[in-house]
Chain A
């Protein structure tokens, strides 16, 4: 058999492998930091660029696009050359791809830290970076297809199919989810709004998981697992079915991220049905991987590389079972918005992606350096540290999720929420958050050990930059050197045909699952009372986006009684039509804010409350884990962008009057002065030009336009006479405890008053000091001033005890009492 010499490019593989290791450690360290931040807000360091809302997207982007991304390229550049028996198509394109990708990562880290974000999960990066990603991605594609075109084998192994499908789909996803209109160099609004934006985003978001974290890794599995086990894949036929079924089904499932939310029922059903169908091909893939080791299980005992692979493939199976379960409405009602989602993605991220990456590098690095792994023992230790890390991460997350979700949903016999204070449910799961940190530390320790092992291995070997192999010349296939000669057309046609089928599968599914929403007007009932954001509210909204508030606060009240009781009226599709981008969120570390601006609503807080809360959340609520945002108070609002923002919004169809952009800043200042005056009246020294003013304006806009008028009238109507005053010790102690959980945040633990609420122990009263007046104030509150109506949260017997306790502390004169407010009442 005639052979020819070819040179595999190992240098590019080495580059990507080093980048994988470097960004992997960075991504994990950042992950550990945000885990600490959730356990204790101290770790936000009161610094804007270190605060959770900005760091969390850095962690997700670093892991997905830097760690996993570079690992994909490592594997693709290594395995493709060997599977196709050719060097990569172009050295220049390879290194352009490498450096382009690293520049994107650095730019991403910088812009996200500075708060430039689109707030669409895993697609946060602003438009110039999006363009750069598109260019580099096209270069990668060009290089890949060029390599395929000059291959020395007739047929493409299934791993290559997975690479092609990943490339095609990610291209489509990235382009359509990133259509945005620039306002300035680093700020843009997506063309989609509300429900459309949500559907496109989760069509993207889900498939970023599918076609970035899954299919390329399956390609790696189909290459490296047989390689390391030294036996062919269990069933190549099953591989074919696995591939096509995955490619075809994955795209449909996006709406399962939006169950019970403001999207049409049939879309939700589509998402659920296809998600459940996904179990079959996914498990086919897992079984195919595991059965490849049949008869070789003794190797698994000795070989750390195979151990990592087995756990990775098993985790793939577990995750792809868990995912479809979470996509059914029954389970989703409990798991959505909780830490279950976090646990789920970390099984995928740490075990499937992480462990497969480690195994690939343990396989690859010694071979690139023509040596043996420095320490198998260390690799085994790494394996156990990593596995324990995953367990210590995931189990607390599931535990926290179920605990918190059930607490959110629990009602008393009388039909009130058992835990009306969101804080109670957070405090309950804090121990799990600490345990999660331990999991992260274990996993990271293992990874550091891995790095040391790699460094030692590299030191003891010598790098093979160009690996020379003799491969048989493909019969009737011209070699590379014979330029200008026509290649056999059928060989060329096949990858193209193949790519065509992949595109077709992806496009059909995408069209059916997103196109019906492209014209919102025909799908969404309009809500007449809904007004576009005022210029100040719009600026506030952009600060909300900048600070990543959506990473912890949803704006999506689902139609469950447990949610409408806690947050207010459920969400309607029509109220989001001006939301570019949507802010529904996917996790409730804090309460939902959809109705935070409804006066008299359950979550309404006054401007003064918000001011103090942003300044120091722990002062208002000792156990709160929300970070402080002191810079909102000192930063001056940038109003130079207002006109441009209004213009783009108008262009996108938001009905601002003609010429509004010219007067927008006047209106902005007028509204800002009002809020500043209100704050000044409450003894807060602030000027109207600060960012916090815009933020408060936005929070007070949430849900306000569609609030039911009944909310404010109610307090006039149902007047209840004060019940009997209790004086027995037991009732007063109970009253004191109720006071501590319900009232102390604003009135101090002894009722001495604080920055928000007045002193209750003196005999000066703003709303009257008679027993009836006091009871009425407690029970019906003054929602417009931030004092919530307690009768919506507490039983009558509990109200009676709080009331009795409040009356009992009058005249107690506690230390640090607030100065008297209101009028003296003679008891």
Chain B
């Protein structure tokens, strides 16, 4: 535990945190970009239309008087 605390302190002092944070962020961000732009167009269109296809109908929806 002492060792870990020492290491954490050293990381902070040497700016390693910022470096780690930046690297993690860049990696994740690039991964997201790659993921988003390699999706098939047909899939993306289908997803984008998800809120709109309601199959709203229908016969005799049960109603309640207010």
Question: Which chain A residues have a beta carbon within 8 Å of chain B's beta carbons?
Answer: 3, 5, 7, 79, 82-83, 85, 153, 155, 157-159, 222-223, 226-227, 230-233, 236-238, 240-241, 244-245, 248-249, 252, 264, 266, 269-270, 273-274, 277, 369-370, 458-459, 461-472, 505, 508, 512, 515-516, 519, 522-523
Interface string of B37-60 (1 = CB under 8 A from A): 101000111011111101111111
In whole angstroms, what is the CA distance A237 to B43 when docked? 11
A236 CB to closest chain B CB (Å) equals: 4
Q: Name 21 interchain pairs, CB-CB below 8 A, sorted by A.
A: A7-B62, A155-B43, A155-B47, A159-B51, A237-B39, A252-B21, A264-B12, A273-B18, A461-B66, A462-B63, A463-B64, A468-B58, A468-B60, A469-B54, A469-B57, A469-B58, A470-B58, A505-B28, A512-B21, A516-B11, A522-B5
Q: Please name all residues of chain A whose beta carbon is closer than 8 Å to the beta carbon of B48 when the two chains form the complex.
A: 226, 232-233, 236
Q: Which partner residue on chain B sits nearest A154 by CB separation?
A: B46
In whole angstroms, what is the CA distance A273 to B22 when docked? 9
Inter-chain contact B24/A270, CB cutoff 8 Å: no
Q: Please name all residues of chain A whose beta carbon is closer than 8 Å to the beta carbon of B49 when the two chains form the complex.
A: 232
In whole angstroms, what is the CA distance A771 to B14 when docked? 60
In whole angstroms, what is the CA distance A515 to B4 when docked? 11
Q: Please name all residues of chain B whose beta carbon is closer than 8 Å to the beta carbon of A519 when the two chains form the complex.
A: 5
Residue from the list A5, A236, A249, A270 in contact with B17, Cβ < 8 A: A270
CB-CB under 8 A for A227 and B25, given A244-B32, A266-B12, A273-B18: no
In whole angstroms, what is the CA distance A459 to B58 when docked? 23
CB-CB under 8 A for A157 and B51, given A273-B18, A505-B28: yes
Q: Please name all residues of chain A whose beta carbon is closer than 8 Å to the beta carbon of B17 when the two chains form the complex.
A: 266, 270, 512
Inter-chain contact B61/A237, CB cutoff 8 Å: no
Inter-chain contact B64/A465, CB cutoff 8 Å: yes
CB-CB under 8 A for A467 and B61, given A83-B51, A223-B51: yes
CB-CB under 8 A for A522 and B9, given A241-B33, A462-B64, A470-B58: yes
In whole angstroms, what is the CA distance A210 to B45 when docked? 28
Known: A241-B33, A522-B9. 6 other contacts (CB 8 A): A232-B45, A240-B35, A273-B18, A462-B66, A463-B65, A505-B28
Inter-chain contact B9/A465, CB cutoff 8 Å: no
Inter-chain contact A459/B54, CB cutoff 8 Å: no
Q: Please name all residues of chain A whose beta carbon is closer than 8 Å to the beta carbon of B54 when the two chains form the complex.
A: 82, 469
Q: Which partner residue on chain A sits nearest B43 by CB separation?
A: A155
Q: Which partner residue on chain A sits nearest B58 by CB separation?
A: A468
Inter-chain contact B57/A269, CB cutoff 8 Å: no
Inter-chain contact A458/B66, CB cutoff 8 Å: yes
Inter-chain contact A270/B18, CB cutoff 8 Å: yes
B9 CB to closest chain A CB (Å) equals: 6
A460 CB to closest chain B CB (Å) equals: 9
Q: Please name all residues of chain B whose beta carbon is closer than 8 Å to the beta carbon of A79 when the two chains form the complex.
A: 51
In whole angstroms, what is the CA distance A459 to B25 when docked? 53
Inter-chain contact B62/A466, CB cutoff 8 Å: yes
Q: Please name all residues of chain A whose beta carbon is closer than 8 Å to the beta carbon of B66 when the two chains form the complex.
A: 369, 458-459, 461-463
Inter-chain contact A470/B47, CB cutoff 8 Å: no
In whole angstroms, what is the CA distance A463 to B56 when docked? 16
CB-CB under 8 A for A153 and B12, given A236-B44, A370-B63, A469-B57: no
Inter-chain contact A468/B57, CB cutoff 8 Å: yes
In whole angstroms, what is the CA distance A646 to B40 when docked? 63
In whole angstroms, what is the CA distance A437 to B44 when docked? 47
Q: Please name all residues of chain B whose beta carbon is closer than 8 Å to the beta carbon of A230 when the two chains form the complex.
A: 52
Inter-chain contact B32/A270, CB cutoff 8 Å: no
- Which are the 5 A-B pairs with shortest beta-carbon distances? A232-B48, A236-B48, A157-B50, A244-B32, A522-B5
In whole angstroms, what is the CA distance A233 to B44 when docked? 11
Q: Which partner residue on chain B sits nearest A466 by CB separation?
A: B62
Inter-chain contact A466/B24, CB cutoff 8 Å: no
B15 CB to closest chain A CB (Å) equals: 7
Among B18, B20, B37, B62, max chain A CB count under 10 A is at: B62
Residue from the list B8, B33, B63 in contact with A464, Cβ < 8 A: B63
Q: Which partner residue on chain B sits nearest A277 by CB separation?
A: B25
CB-CB under 8 A for A83 and B5, given A463-B63, A464-B63: no
CB-CB under 8 A for A466 and B36, given A516-B8, A522-B9: no
Inter-chain contact A466/B61, CB cutoff 8 Å: yes
Q: Which partner residue on chain A sits nearest B35 by CB separation?
A: A240
Inter-chain contact A237/B55, CB cutoff 8 Å: no
Q: Which partner residue on chain B sits nearest A249 by CB separation?
A: B25
In whole angstroms, what is the CA distance A505 to B31 when docked? 13
Q: Please name all residues of chain B whose beta carbon is closer than 8 Å to the beta carbon of A158 when the two chains form the complex.
A: 47
Inter-chain contact A237/B25, CB cutoff 8 Å: no
Inter-chain contact B51/A226, CB cutoff 8 Å: yes
In whole angstroms, what is the CA distance A277 to B24 when docked? 14
Q: Please name all residues of chain A whose beta carbon is closer than 8 Å to the beta carbon of B9 when the two chains form the complex.
A: 516, 522-523
B23 CB to closest chain A CB (Å) equals: 12
Q: Please name all residues of chain B whose beta carbon is closer than 8 Å to the beta carbon of A3 when the two chains form the complex.
A: 55
Inter-chain contact B64/A241, CB cutoff 8 Å: no
In whole angstroms, what is the CA distance A230 to B52 when docked? 7
Q: Please name all residues of chain B whose beta carbon is closer than 8 Å to the beta carbon of A245 when the two chains form the complex.
A: 29, 32
In whole angstroms, what is the CA distance A458 to B20 when docked? 55
In whole angstroms, what is the CA distance A86 to B43 when docked? 21
Q: Please name all residues of chain B whose beta carbon is closer than 8 Å to the beta carbon of A505 when the two chains form the complex.
A: 28
Residue from the list A82, A464, A512, A522 in contact with B61, Cβ < 8 A: A464
B5 CB to closest chain A CB (Å) equals: 4
Q: Please name all residues of chain B whose beta carbon is closer than 8 Å to the beta carbon of A277 when the two chains form the complex.
A: 25
In whole angstroms, what is the CA distance A230 to B54 when docked? 12
Q: Which partner residue on chain A sits nearest B33 by CB separation?
A: A241
Inter-chain contact B61/A270, CB cutoff 8 Å: no
Q: Which partner residue on chain A sits nearest B6 by CB separation?
A: A522
Q: Which partner residue on chain B sits nearest A240 by CB separation?
A: B36
In whole angstroms, what is the CA distance A459 to B18 when docked? 59
Inter-chain contact A266/B18, CB cutoff 8 Å: yes
CB-CB under 8 A for A266 and B52, given A463-B66, A516-B8: no
Q: Please name all residues of chain B whose beta carbon is closer than 8 Å to the beta carbon of A512 when the two chains form the complex.
A: 17, 20-21
In whole angstroms, what is the CA distance A470 to B59 when docked? 10
Among B28, B50, B59, max chain A CB count under 10 A is at: B50
In whole angstroms, what is the CA distance A315 to B35 when docked? 29
CB-CB under 8 A for A465 and B12, given A241-B36, A270-B21: no
In whole angstroms, what is the CA distance A153 to B52 when docked? 14
Q: Which partner residue on chain A sits nearest B17 by CB separation?
A: A266
A240 CB to closest chain B CB (Å) equals: 5
Q: Please name all residues of chain A whose beta carbon is closer than 8 Å to the beta carbon of B58 when the two chains form the complex.
A: 5, 468-470
Among B6, B25, B51, max chain A CB count under 10 A is at: B51
Inter-chain contact B29/A468, CB cutoff 8 Å: no
Q: Please name all residues of chain B whose beta carbon is closer than 8 Å to the beta carbon of A463 when the two chains form the complex.
A: 63-66
In whole angstroms, what is the CA distance A107 to B18 when docked? 43
Inter-chain contact B52/A226, CB cutoff 8 Å: yes
In whole angstroms, what is the CA distance A576 to B65 when docked? 61
In whole angstroms, what is the CA distance A519 to B6 when docked? 11
Q: Which partner residue on chain A sits nearest B44 by CB separation?
A: A236
In whole angstroms, what is the CA distance A505 to B32 when docked? 12
Q: Please name all residues of chain B whose beta carbon is closer than 8 Å to the beta carbon of A7 when the two chains form the complex.
A: 62
Inter-chain contact A468/B32, CB cutoff 8 Å: no
Q: Which partner residue on chain B sits nearest A230 by CB separation?
A: B52
A237 CB to closest chain B CB (Å) equals: 5
Inter-chain contact B62/A465, CB cutoff 8 Å: yes
B45 CB to closest chain A CB (Å) equals: 8
B41 CB to closest chain A CB (Å) equals: 10
Q: Please name all residues of chain B whose beta carbon is closer than 8 Å to the beta carbon of A369 when the two chains form the complex.
A: 66
In whole angstroms, what is the CA distance A273 to B19 when docked? 12
In whole angstroms, what is the CA distance A231 to B21 when docked? 38
B58 CB to closest chain A CB (Å) equals: 5
Inter-chain contact B52/A248, CB cutoff 8 Å: no
In whole angstroms, what is the CA distance A508 to B23 when docked? 13
A724 CB to closest chain B CB (Å) equals: 57
In whole angstroms, what is the CA distance A369 to B65 when docked? 10
Q: Please name all residues of chain A whose beta carbon is closer than 8 Å to the beta carbon of B33 when the two chains form the complex.
A: 241
CB-CB under 8 A for A157 and B12, given A465-B62, A508-B24, A512-B20: no
Residue from the list B28, B51, B57 in contact with A470, Cβ < 8 A: B57
Q: Please name all residues of chain B whose beta carbon is closer than 8 Å to the beta carbon of A516 when the two chains form the complex.
A: 8-9, 11-12
Q: Please name all residues of chain B whose beta carbon is closer than 8 Å to the beta carbon of A471 when the two chains form the complex.
A: 55
